[in-house]
Structure 1
Amino acid sequence: MRQASMHVASLALDETNPRHTHPTSSLEQSIAALLENHPEKLVRLARDISQHGVNPTDLTIVLVDGDRNVVLEGNRRVAALMLLHNPALAPTEKLRKQFAAIARNGEVPRRLACVIAESRMQAEHWIKLKHTGENNGVGTVPWNPGEASRFKGRATPTEKARLFIEAVHAWFPDDLELLANARIVREKRITNLGRMIADPTVRNRLGISVEGDVVLSSFPSARLHPILSRLFSDLAGPVSVDQIYSKRQREDYLQGVEDYLPKLADRLEEPEKYSKSTNTTEGNSKVSVADNDTTEDKKPTRRKRADFEKRLFQGVKLRHVSLRSSEVLEEAQQIKIDEMPNVASIMVRAVVDIVVTEVYEQLGWRRNKDSLKGRIGAVLHQVDPEKNEPLLANAWRLSQEEDGALVLKTLHAFIHSWQSNPLTSEVRKLSLAYGPLLNKADELLEKKKR
């Protein structure tokens, strides 16, 4: 058996699924059979998938049967995905409206991690273990009441939000406005804050995590002060749960406050810690507002930044390029790297090429214009002649220095080689590297207009 990522639209439900009372003969019949008993359970599954994604610890088993990819294990989750993408497959109008509403308010994956079985017999052992109980310890052994109680006793998003507010008090004891907003959030909007910090994308971009009774920060507190001030002000005031309910809305919120977020290059080698049990911080984490100016001048130790971007060129805004170039960027920013790596890889190359070429032509440059490497290099030399801008370090390295072949070969292959199979990590690395270059290129055009 081997693993593969498959498009939901390419999958077929098992017409001999043991969940069916009788074999089915079409997709619509298979879906109706799954909805026949307790349809609310499939609705709840769809809602959970839209909010949290498909359970990554439970892979779908697929049998390639001629031109059909038959789902042997995971028919309910695949049916839920199909109904979210096409509510018209539901047998009743009420269900069609329910699935359509869920799809509008959440994220619906288009690809699914699967295990490819060579035969039904090969998959039978694993399906049996999944659905027939403990099997003397070989299958899944359920928790006893005590174990279940201990798990439920772990911190909920709301409890983590309260702990995070305590850390904010410890980090910024002199910012009365921030603390006042934090108090309002704790008393009236605590679930909204819990929803935000329960989102991995938000946590990664803020550089925070909660482990037990400890809050970890990957950025110096002074770097977090602008975004935390904005976040608590928004949650205490104009931002309601309707504006951050779905994952897409939370990502949109992050894009809207991009200027307040810490620079990724400022991540620490070792995170700062706030401990509830000792009510203390470790590292230089207790920062007053008055100290921010002096702290800003200190260069924190650089750390390899985490891959957090889900969409291409997240946070990049082009205001001075042509309308067409800005529209190309905006459309590219709708692409989810993990779901459409091939399209994402092509658009990385396309957006970079379009923007640097426009800069070349509008500024009337003549030298090095015949190659992408030359055009990128010319923009880099113009915006960072001393090579001392941290945000452009990766653009220099990936296009001009020892790893320059990545642009010449990898970016070229993304478009021109049918053998190219781009990795999402590779696409994300390029998106992160060239995003700052696009912003700097846009600034060059702003200077020209002045």
Structure 2
Amino acid sequence: MDIFENINWQEQKISLKDLSLWDENARFPDKYFNKSEKELIEYFCTNGIFKIENLAKEIVKDFDLPQLEKLITYNADEQLIVLEGNRRLTVYKLLHNPELAPSNTLKNKFQKLKKEINISDNFLFDCLITENKTEGFRFIERKHVNGNNEVNWGEQERTHYNVRRGNATKKEEFKVAIAKIIKDLDIPEGLKDQVLGHGYVTNFWRILDSSVAWKEYGFNLKDDGELEITDSNFKDKLKVIILNVLKKEDFSGNKIDSRSLNTNKEKEEYLKSIQNNDSKKVDKEIQKNTTHNLFGEKSTDIFPKKKKTKINPKSTSRNYLIPKTCRLNINEKKINNIYRELRDNLLIDDTNSSVPNAIGVLFRVFLEINIDYFWEKRKGETFSDNTKLAGKITNISQYMEQEGLSTSRQLKNIRTVATDKNNLLSIQNFHGYVHCYKTQPTLNDLKLKWDNLEEFFEILWSSLTSKK
């Protein structure tokens, strides 16, 4: 039944069985054009950045809620193609038919989730339907190109989109050309996706899209987007660069990161150090780090192994919020003064001199002004007046991960502050210290909060120091 319509749009409820995934979605590489729906679903499931399993759990948990977002659907010769909402559609298709999952492990998880809800292929979606594809692109650009999305497009997806829309710069065309070469390399798919994904892509392009790399390998980008390369051994050398970027070091143990390859001279020395037969070392490294699970599925983990170092144990028996072992190099006077007060002056113990309420309020202030200062210095901009602290945390977490300043695992606790209202770290608890006359922080709770967020503050100020 039509609910709303105008010249370009109709609002309808459409059954799950009548909706198709979009094979030209910018999330998919070019080789997925005209692929089957099962192959498209497999791509979503095997790339962790899409968080399909997490999304499925949220959908099942809130299955009784009205749909918050409509699917943007293109009517192409009676085939209803979802232009916006492919992640959600993938999850619903898997919940209805877990057999579409690419692995037994994931299949079992969706079978368990399916038991919690009642879903059939007649499940109805709220859809906005258009026969004008350009109108559909307007929704895509508003949500993805401008960053208004729960799982933002990375640089590679935005590049794919601009190229396919004919709006790409030469730099973007170069990146797409290199990405195509990477997809054809004889290395595990997971490594290809990782080097082009969040956390590594910045360092990778810092090396490859540099004047010294263009000269070293004889790159020439033609008007039609085709990339000419004079170095006949480039593909083998590219495998070496990918492995080095993921391991964050070369075969001699030299660091490969944003600090070690800042200048053209450093990049040139690194590129010239790569030998033609180094690709054999890559093959051996991959083979050494590839394992098989009980179902015969292969996985390759070549992430750098952290060296074991002696650390000072954290203890709630200390007398101050911040332990003496935490040393932050803070170059802004007010923030440093608050840091020193929380570390050296304000007692949080069992004596009458203890001031947990004052510390709770000041801890809340310290958290926000750290984030504000970082955003201004690293991004060169300030948050809008209506941006709440939870939104600031989400923005800074995404930025840190995208810029390779931190990993998703390291940002887990600070993200919990913004997303999990039932957690000790929740922003609601911080707000309660300031705004609720009944909420009084306990000594141990405050210390545990700092222990869980200390790594975030260390990463924040370390990156600010290196940037300066």
Q: TM-score, normalization: structure 1?
A: 0.30
Q: TM-score, normalization: structure 2?
A: 0.28
Identify the structure with the greater helix proportion.
1
